[in-house]
Chain A
Amino acid sequence: MAQTQSGAEGLLSLPALLHRNATTFATAPAYREKEFGIWQSWNWAETEQEIEALALGLINLGVNEGDFIAIIGHNRPYLYWAMVAAQSVGAIPVPLYQDAVAEEMAYVLGHCGARFVIVSDQEQVDKVVEVQDQLHQFEHLIYLDPRGLRKYDHSHLHEYRHVQEQGRAAHDEFIADLKARRAKLTYDSTCVMLYTSGTTGKPKGVVLSNRNVIESAKNSVEFDHLGRNEDILSYLPMAWVGDFIFSVGQAYWCGFCVNCPESAETMMTDLREIGPTYFFAPPRVFETQLTNVMIRMEDAGRLKQAMFNHFMAHARKVGPRILDGKPVNAWDRLKYAIGDMLVYGPLKDTLGFSRIRVGYTAGEAIGPEIFDFYRSLGINLKQLYGQTEATVFITVQPDGEVRADTVGVPAPDVEIKIAENGEIFYRSPGTFVEYYKNPESTASTKDPEGWVATGDAGFIEESSGHLRIIDRAKDVGTMAGGAMFAPKYVENKLKFYPDILEAVLFGNGRDHCVAFINIDLTAVGNWAERNNIAYASYLELAGHPMVLTAIQQHVEEVNRSVAQDTMLSGCQVHRFVVLHKELDADDGEMTRTRKVRRAIVEQKYADIIAALYDGSASVSTRTEVTYEDGRKGHISATLKIGDAAVQPVAPHKVAAE
């Protein structure tokens, strides 16, 4: 299958796509970035010049073909150019998570043996300098923002702008070399290497070829009919495969414009100013936005509130049907149109979603209420299921077949099969080449026929052909009574409450389940303010009796809903505790993409888990925390344990293994 695809029109690499864009849509905007309060923009022709200058500068600095160039920083056009410049000279870009601490970076930089590192600012320079002694192959560091770096030793440190200037100056000397290197790129050359955060163990370097990236971009673009007039906002970590596909792969394939926010804090304002037509966000972003809307509506006047509630009720009734193109009677349509004028339109404008044609959410399950809220406003929000190893796409929801509880049908050219134990396997043109320097993991993940194990358990719904994910395959277990234990299913139900930020369920091999809960400080804090409840810290708010009562109600509601699922009714939460600190990636409790590291949490809080099972009413604990600058401290707390009512379940058999 793979041999038949030779890259349409001979466009076998991103530099080749760049050249096509720079000649075909030279004056169309390619990048925008807000800086100094104004949107600065570069068209495709300018982008090609910038990238070429950097590429020549890199050759000038001594970059060889096959070198790894690490790229660390927040989303900026310059760093996206750095990736394509690296590819142009035959090197392999390796974007890293910019919020990683120095030790985490040391592992990745050492593992790929990066000779060159391109970073955004002093913060990142400091981290690399801190660990450079551990890195034998490391040679040169290039930075974007010179601020605070004047006094640094510049023997191995270069300013991005200067590298470009030197590249321009050495144009005649190196251009032939650059052209030769570019011409050597094939469909099978490595396009990028992305490290997976990994819920267990050390990160693995996923090698993706030009074929993987370009085929995936092409298929997904056709699937959603994306064109060169799209605008996207690039704000998700550059080290994440999704950002690479949307902001680089699809953007270069289509020739659409990538917009970079001014800073992480201004993202919501910038979103509104740009009004993207194609948008991607993890469920968390949609949740936060919805929470903010609800908080602001509570502060609104009586009339506005009444209007909002009235029309939102109507939108929930007919909005999704209108969006899916299903028949809706004339009166409801008219009322929806009026609602659009009075409520939905202005609301979408405030959120920055006025122009959205396609929106995606993935990474975690999204709450059905949240999902329906956006869809009822007429925003075409869909779900997809993917992973780094698949170059994102495994399944996607086609327009008109969108549901909160499934992740859609196999993406174009993707084959799916479900193993005996429920694990999902796929095979596609996006299937990764290998894990870098890790043949054992490659072999255990990808079989010789190209089938890749996702590590997720799920099943294909017979009625619709859609895939439903149950949980991580390795997290699915069996309880002492033989019932199936699938923690994610219950955790997601809990997390759909705005008060609850995170939940972790335990119960594998036990006779009943218990749960850790993290409250959402924004939502609960706002509630506390409204009810005149004073609190001095997260710890105090988390332990407030009224908060515990509210959480208990949520848990009991979830229990009622879980009890109805014949397969998973054993997973009801008997006892729970509201944790005294947020689970945090800096403490190793979560991955950088905010997935809970179950084993680490279980080990770290063993004392609390013990108390949950031995029936004690409270537990005293002392927890180590890591601050953003890497220093460590402790939090001590006495936590109350809550009991939740469970629904009686008729004992029923589950296929014992």
Chain B
Amino acid sequence: MLDQAGGYTTVDGRKIGGVVMEMKNITLRFGGVVAIKDISFDIREGEIRAIIGPNGAGKSSMLNVISGFYVPSEGEVWFHGEKRPPMRPFEVARQGIARTFQNIALFEGMSVLDNVMTGRLTHMKTGLFSQALWKGPAEKEETENREVAEKIIDFLEIQHIRKTPVSRLPYGLKKRVELARALAAQPKLLLLDEPMAGMNVEEKEDMSRFILDVNDEFGTTIALIEHDMGVVMDLSDRVVVMDYGKKIGDGPPDEVRNNQDVIDAYLGVAHD
């Protein structure tokens, strides 16, 4: 299916580009525990890539490796054709990778708008002093950043809570605000850690729609971890399946669904 040079075309006719990120033989150890064992896969430009697996399979660890929070014990991370040296998470963010968290990590006391604005931090160039005075370039910069933030607020339909402190919001909306903050960074690669966890059906549908729209509208490459199999199979273009830190499957949803190893490990017994 993949042509190595120019990517591939999805079922619904989207053009997927070349490799954006490549994980080469990643192994991650915590003391004696091997969380990830010799895993390789790539993420291509414009695709929605899912990482799935049962509890404890090492999905979140893998996401943390991609986001630079963990440095792999062995193996290499290649981003845009360059090998990435060990980096601090904020340096990774500057490279154009943004993420959301499984347990929401917003600034609870701040308003939705302020939270979204923090996502613009990596794009701010003026110093603390000129921002405090709010003169000249700082003023212009804030206006520009506010514009980006407002477009995202509009996109995710959270205008009505713009000025509401995050602590007052229900869970489903907090998740959406987190996505808004990640998008405010205008990332090249967006990492979503269980975006649908703990949501009801309606909220899941909304979130799925937003993920697809983000990919479609902004052309953002998305890597996501998710438990809900139905959602994963509907949303993603290619799926990596992990079990006990190992990769046991990789390919388009239909292929993965019929992979015997995956059925055995993750889905248990097939019900036919």
Contact = CB atoms under 8 A, between A and B. Distances in A.
Contact of B213 (A148, A263, A629): A148
Interface in B135-188: 146-147, 150-151, 153-155, 157, 159-160, 162
A150 interface: yes
Given A35-B154, A36-B151, A263 B159 contact: yes
Given A35-B154, A147-B155, A151-B13, A266 B216 contact: no
Interface string A26-67: 000000000111100000000000000000000000000000
A150 to B, nearest CB: 6
A321 to B, nearest CB: 39
Nearest to A629: B205
Contact of B216 (A151, A262, A263, A265): A151
A266 B159 contact: yes
Interface string A98-139: 000000000000000000000000000000000000000000
Contacts of A628: 202
A263 B150 contact: no
B149 to A, nearest CB: 9
A628 B154 CA distance: 22
B213 A147 contact: yes
Nearest to B160: A265
Contacts of B216: 148, 150-151
A36 B209 contact: no
B82 interface: no
B212 interface: yes
Interface residues of A, number: 15
Contacts of A37: 146, 150, 153, 159, 162
Interface string A261-281: 011011001000000000000
B217 interface: yes
Contacts of A150: 216-217
Interface centre among A35, A37, A269, A628 (most CB of B within 10 A): A37
A151 B159 contact: no
B160 A269 contact: yes
A263 B156 CA distance: 12
Interface string A546-589: 00000000000000000000000000000000000000000000
Given A36-B147, A36-B154, A148 B212 contact: yes
B12 interface: yes
A266 B153 CA distance: 13
Given A36-B147, A147-B217, A265 B159 contact: yes
A259 to B, nearest CB: 15
The bracket for how many chain B residues form the interface is 20 to 34
Contacts of A266: 159-160
Nearest to B162: A37
Nearest to B210: A148
Contacts of B159: 37, 262-263, 265-266
Nearest to B152: A36
Contacts of B146: 37
A22 B12 CA distance: 47
Interface in A467-500: none
Contacts of B150: 36-38
Contacts of B213: 147-148
A150 B212 CA distance: 12
Nearest to B12: A151
A45 to B, nearest CB: 26
Contacts of B202: 628
A628 B205 CA distance: 12
A264 B42 CA distance: 43
Contacts, number: 38
Interface in B195-219: 202, 205, 209, 212-213, 216-217
A151 B155 CA distance: 18
Given A151-B12, A151-B216, A263 B147 contact: no
Nearest to B113: A37
Contacts of B162: 37
Contacts of B160: 262-263, 265-266, 269
A148 B209 contact: yes
A150 B218 CA distance: 11
B36 to A, nearest CB: 35
Interface in B98-150: 146-147, 150
Interface centre among B147, B154, B157, B162 (most CB of A within 10 A): B154
A148 B217 CA distance: 7
B80 to A, nearest CB: 25
Interface in A245-304: 262-263, 265-266, 269
Nearest to B13: A151
A339 to B, nearest CB: 29
A263 B14 CA distance: 31
A148 B157 CA distance: 14
A448 B116 CA distance: 64
Contacts of A148: 209, 212-213, 216-217
A36 B209 CA distance: 21
Interface string B239-259: 000000000000000000000
Contacts of A38: 150
A541 to B, nearest CB: 18
Contacts of B147: 36
A11 B217 CA distance: 45
A269 B162 CA distance: 11
Contacts of B212: 148
Nearest to A145: B154
A37 B149 CA distance: 10
A263 B153 contact: no
Contacts of B151: 36
Contacts of A151: 12-14, 216
A37 B160 CA distance: 10
Nearest to A628: B202
Interface centre among B150, B159, B217 (most CB of A within 10 A): B159
A262 B153 CA distance: 11
A36 B213 CA distance: 18
Nearest to B147: A36
Contacts of A147: 155, 213, 217
Nearest to A146: B217
A628 B159 CA distance: 21
B83 to A, nearest CB: 35
Interface string A397-433: 0000000000000000000000000000000000000
A88 to B, nearest CB: 30
A214 B268 CA distance: 70
A456 B162 CA distance: 44
Interface string A185-216: 00000000000000000000000000000000
B104 to A, nearest CB: 21
Interface centre among B153, B160, B202, B209 (most CB of A within 10 A): B160
Contacts of B157: 263
Nearest to B151: A36
Interface string A621-636: 0000000110000000
B54 to A, nearest CB: 30
Interface in B52-110: none
Contacts of B12: 151
A266 B13 CA distance: 37
A262 B163 CA distance: 14
Contacts of A35: 154
A125 B183 CA distance: 26
A150 B46 CA distance: 15
Given A37-B150, A269-B160, 6 more contacts: A37-B162, A148-B212, A151-B14, A263-B159, A628-B202, A629-B205
**Which 7 interchain pairs have the tightest Cβ spacing?**
A265-B160, A36-B150, A37-B150, A266-B160, A262-B159, A148-B213, A266-B159
16 contacts: A35-B154, A36-B150, A36-B151, A37-B146, A37-B153, A38-B150, A147-B155, A148-B212, A148-B216, A150-B216, A150-B217, A263-B160, A265-B159, A266-B159, A269-B160, A628-B202
Interface of B: 12-14, 146-147, 150-151, 153-155, 157, 159-160, 162, 202, 205, 209, 212-213, 216-217
